[in-house]
Amino acid sequence: MKHVFFLSFLLIFFSCEEKKQFEKTELSYEVIEEIQLKLDSITSPLTIRTQLIESDSGTFLYTMHSQQMSMNIYNLQTKKNIKKIKFSHDGINRIGLLQGFDVYNKDTLLVATYPPHLVIFDHAGNKINELIVSGEDQYIQTIESTNALPFFIFKNKIYGAYPFITRYWETPIKEVSNFRHVYEIDFKNMSIQWKNLSLPSRFWDKGKISPEFSWTSKGDSIITVFKENAQIQVFSINQNQLLNILDLKTPEKIDFIKFQQRPTGNEGAIKQLGKGAFRSIHYDKYRRVYYVFYDLPVDPEQFTIPISKLHSTRPDHKIFLLDENFEYIGEHTFKEFSSDPYDAFVGKKGLYLPTNREYSDSFDEDYLKFKVIQFKKPKE
């Protein structure tokens, strides 16, 4: 009887220890600054990409906006638009649809387009060079450089991602790891090479989930988080190999819909909305933490927003704060379209959160708005 009691005690003790280890920690934050940037009459507040540039000459925000063939540069000290860079579908500088950008240096812009081209421009909008991004093991439909999946520049080489399987439903489950998803472009000779980052071999063992991921960088490492799988991958650029796959540990279990066959109509989309989705990950080198943005489940019956739009515009999301070893520190929930999990970015002052979000009650089409925040870590 004593042995039974002792065994029961151990089970209760270790169960409590496990629950204590992953106890939810709700973080508060301090607002360091609020930013409002006045838009001109033709510029949409909906952005494809925003990039913060902090230099000795000042702090600038580069922006690319939806359904427009231009970019803007704002001085964040004066809050003024100091330059507009125009693109065109015609003429000697013509390009396709804008899919994002990255500032290579003070003179050069990298622009992603559809069809999948990397186009090099100067700051006057003159095309300098262009490369078709083609795959070796699958057809590449599109490329992008957004806040969730930006180009990375490392040792004069450009790194981009194609986090898709083009023939998704036609691809057998056992072939999920047959495709490489990261490309390297040599800026000098404009050549492309695909790196050795593929999906895990058992990624689809329990059914099909999206291969999509977002990423961030730290030194020579690229860190990815899957959209529909609570795992983090650490890939070394120098070694051209995957160094580690880690479970993203959170207090509450996170699971996703896994499909055994192709759904019909809106069936798949509705089921996916009933589960969460990881949207982006950002490394903050100033505070040495990771921010992981996670969209919360949503009931489409509660909104008049089209289902296709609701997938990328969910009202509520969390930010998980992780330390440099990817250990959970805490989390904060943002509700009712109060911030945007796609377009956040990091600077010296803190985490910049876009707050003028479509479908929020305070949405204002005349401004870009941000809050710069710093999370308060729990006391030991």
Give the pLDDT of residue 217: 97
pLDDT at 239 over 80: yes
Dist CA 208 CA 70 (whole Å)? 38
pLDDT at 193 over 50: yes
> Whose structure tokens read 């507009």?
84
pLDDT at 19 over 60: no
Q: Work out the number of other CB atoms within 10 angstroms of the CB of residue 360.
A: 15
Give the pLDDT of residue 6: 45
> 10 falls in which pLDDT band (50, 70, 90)?
very low
Instruction: Determine contact, residues 81/91, Cβ cutoff 8 Å.
Output: no
Give the pLDDT of residue 380: 58
pLDDT at 265 over 90: no
Residues 6+ apart with CB under 8 A from 77: 58, 59
Give the pLDDT of residue 60: 98
Dist CA 320 CA 297 (whole Å)? 16
Amino acid code (one letter) for 6: F
The whole-chain average pLDDT of the chain stands at: 93
pLDDT at 2 over 50: no
DSSP conformation letters of 156-207: TEEEEE----TTTTTS-GGGTTS---EEEEETTTTEEEE-S----TTTTTTS
DSSP code of residue 366: T
> Whose structure tokens read 């949207």?
279
pLDDT at 258 over 80: yes
pLDDT at 47 over 90: yes
Q: Each residue of 121-135: pLDDT tens digit?
A: 999 999 999 999 999
- CA distances for 143 relative to 119, 159, 233, 343, angstroms: 11, 11, 21, 17
Give the pLDDT of residue 65: 95
Q: Indicate the SS3 state at residue 307.
A: helix
Q: Work out the number of other CB atoms within 10 angstroms of the CB of residue 8.
A: 10
Q: Look at residues 97, 96, 76, 73 and name the one whose alpha carbon lies nearest to residue 85.
A: 73
Structure tokens belonging to residue 68: 């427009």
> 338 falls in which pLDDT band (50, 70, 90)?
very high
Average pLDDT over residues 70-98: 96
pLDDT at 4 over 70: no
pLDDT above 90: percentage of residues in the chain: 88
Structure tokens belonging to residue 86: 């125009």
Instruction: Determine contact, residues 215/149, Cβ cutoff 8 Å.
Output: yes
Q: Each residue of 200-236: pLDDT tens digit?
A: 999 999 999 999 999 999 999 999 999 999 999 999 9
Give the pLDDT of residue 14: 44
Residues 6+ apart with CB under 8 A from 134: 116, 140, 192
> 377 falls in which pLDDT band (50, 70, 90)?
confident
Dist CA 347 CA 35 (whole Å)? 13
Dist CA 199 CA 213 (whole Å)? 10
Dist CA 107 CA 344 (whole Å)? 24
Burial class (CB in 10 A: 0-12, 13-18, 19+), 95: buried
Give the pLDDT of residue 379: 74
Query: Which region among 12-21, 166-175, 177-186, 297-306 has the lowest average model confidence (pLDDT)?
Result: 12-21
> 245 falls in which pLDDT band (50, 70, 90)?
very high
